[in-house]
Chains A and B, each alone.
Chain A
Amino acid sequence: MRRGRIQEAAFTFLMVSSLALVTATLVGIVAVVLIKGGPALSVDMITETPTAGYYLGGGGGILNAIVGSLWLALSATALAFVVSIAVATYLQREFSTPRLANAVRTVLELLWGVPSIVYGVICFVIMVFVGLGTSLLAGIVALTLLEVPIMTRVMDESLSSVPPELKVSAHVLGSNRAETSVRVVWRQAAPGLVSAVLLAFGRGIGDAASILFTAGFTDFIPRSVLDSAAALPTMIFFLSTSPLPEVRERAYAAAFVLLALVLVISVASRLLTHKLSTYVVK
């Protein structure tokens, strides 16, 4: 009896302290970003592109990076979605053998662990080979490669957890495999699929290394996929390496903008997940 109570208390303590640690980290990051970057936050910052002297403390903003980041991450996530949903669906038992599926899963996990700079370098080599300069397109391709393993693996988990009885229900009604997957399995797994997209998007929008060589950097808003593009992570990188304190301040402000973007998209997808959960069979 006494031992049970001690165990109970110990586990409660562990859980509460873990939660506190995670929350404190998040609050800490937001606080540091706000305190250090607060003075640099302004309307100009998110509505204007940098002037020539911006990196030396001159006027302007980081609109080029905000737009660039949105283009890069949204396009890459959309492309990765198309690839990932197809691969993840194929990994299920109706389509592939467990042996093949497990081999692919291992490869995906390895790819997940590949540092993003490697994707950047690989894409850079391909760009040189086809004669393409740093461009939005190259950046999107690099980010897509980075996102696909993550999105596919998480989607696969979510699709695998659909109860087999549900698939049987669809099969006995005379559904073929495609109808079963698209109309029943995807719908049942929808909240998990959204999480997969969100996770990959978060990784994509925050990554600097893979787009450093591929998307390049520019003070202008890209007008075509062949233009170079700035992004928030690369902007933060350049600003934060400045010797001038007022420019480093801007790096924190840019980080705050990135955090805010991710937050807005997370909340939106939470709402979407909630809506999609309505019909899920528990």
Chain B
Amino acid sequence: MSTPQIMARGLDVRIGKHHILKDVAVDVPPKKITVIMGPSGCGKTTLLKCFNRLIDLTENVKVKGKVIVDGQDIFAPGVDVIAVRKKMGLLSQRPYPLPMSIYNNVAYGLRIHGTRGHDTLDAKVKHYLEAVGLWEEVKHRLREPATALSIGQQQRLCLARGLAVEPEVILCDEPTSALDPVAAKKVEELLVKLKADYTIVLVTHVLRQAKKLADQVNFIYLGEIVEQGPADELFANPKETLTKEYFSGEIGY
């Protein structure tokens, strides 16, 4: 197996008095879909937020341990947080388009990272909207506000916006939980397509989705990793009782 793109070791997170993550170790292999699965409130999102240091924005948070991205510990002092975040796209539970036009939502990231010139911007915006299958739907209304799109379209726009920054990793935090089944399916298909070029970390509590998309699975419960391994093995015969109970629907949901 190739070197993991993201490695968490001894990751321990406390927010206020709550012990959210307990000594977590996770490997995220490159160009695969790594699923982080578990019931609501078990620390999945917190783990995801550690990967791009979005956790910094949380109040009263204490992080111990290491998260190594491309060989560099991103929690080490002196790390350029902006560079870390630029490497990671994030798709959140609900789409939050920026308060600007469809076009500018995609162009925003390009502009702040130094892309100039109308032609270059136009071409790139088109490219990334095509990458998420949105171009045909919006090419005549690029100047309209992003909020004029449906939720599903907004979610794909947010994905395009993230891709425009040219990340290596896409972090997905239950990206389909606010979408209708058709829109959710489109996003799932996109993720499968995108793993050819990107490393994907998918947080989900939908077992069906995990089974469909995962290459690598981490089952997390109450802040601890219960079981991890390749998807086919883990789904075929889970070793831990907790995992079995989760699969059978006895815990969680």
Contacts and interface: CB of A to CB of B under 8 A. Distances in A.
A173 B99 contact: no
Contacts, number: 76
Given A183-B112, A279-B145, A281-B147, A172 B99 contact: no
Interface in A155-177: 163-176
B85 to A, nearest CB: 5
Contacts of B90: 168, 172
B100 A172 contact: no
Given A184-B98, A279-B99, A172 B147 contact: no
Contacts of A126: none
A281 B57 contact: no
Interface residues of B, number: 29
A189 to B, nearest CB: 9
A169 B96 contact: yes
Contact of A174 (B101, B146, B165): B165
A280 B162 CA distance: 20
A174 B86 contact: yes
Contacts of A165: 92, 94, 96
Contact of A175 (B54, B112, B145): B112
Interface residues of A, number: 24
Contacts of B82: 174-176
Contacts of B108: 170, 173, 183
A179 interface: yes
A164 B49 CA distance: 15
A172 B165 CA distance: 10
A248 interface: no
A169 B98 contact: yes
Interface in B68-89: 82-83, 85-86, 88-89
Contact of A281 (B85, B88, B99, B161): B99
A174 B89 CA distance: 9
A179 B165 CA distance: 15
Contacts of A250: none
A187 interface: yes
Interface string A246-282: 0000000000000000000000000000000011111
B96 A172 contact: no
A176 B99 CA distance: 17
A69 interface: no
A49 interface: no
A175 B165 CA distance: 11
A183 B92 CA distance: 20
A173 B100 contact: no
Contacts of A176: 82
A188 interface: yes
Interface of A: 163-176, 179, 183-184, 187-188, 278-282
Closest 8 interchain pairs by CB? A174-B86, A172-B90, A188-B99, A173-B109, A165-B96, A279-B145, A169-B96, A279-B99
Interface of B: 52, 54, 57, 82-83, 85-86, 88-90, 92, 94, 96-101, 108-109, 112-113, 145-147, 158, 161-162, 165
20 contacts: A163-B96, A164-B57, A165-B94, A168-B90, A169-B96, A169-B158, A172-B85, A172-B162, A173-B85, A173-B112, A173-B161, A174-B83, A179-B112, A183-B108, A187-B100, A279-B101, A279-B145, A279-B146, A279-B147, A281-B96
